[in-house]
Amino acid sequence: MHLFEPGARVWIAQTADAELGAVDYVGEATVTATLPCVNCYNELRSAHDAASQRRLAPSEIAVVGAVCRHPLGFLALTDNDEPIPVIADYAGAVAIPIKPEPTGAT
């Protein structure tokens, strides 16, 4: 599957997989971030105080995902503000770009 850039509109069809963190979803969404590989994510996680048990903010994950050389996939946000993680090599997921509608006559 193609890794889409943040801001891209995509149509997603995905089945749940608890091990991967994938959720059931079919519909449109906007890509908000690239998901970093496990090594980059773990480095980010270890940089935080483990005692805080605070969840990493999406903005923190996005910064690391943007520079990761082996990203896992992308995070998309539905029109209802539901985050959908999409793993690139997961056979239970399909993401197709949505072409923008023409805005005027030529």
Mean pLDDT of 8-13: 96
Report d(CA 67, CA 81) in Å as an integer. Answer: 25
pLDDT digits (tens, 9 = 90+) for 63-81: 889 999 999 999 999 999 9
Examine the pLDDT at 49 and tell me if it is beyond 80. Answer: no
Residue 57 DSSP class: P
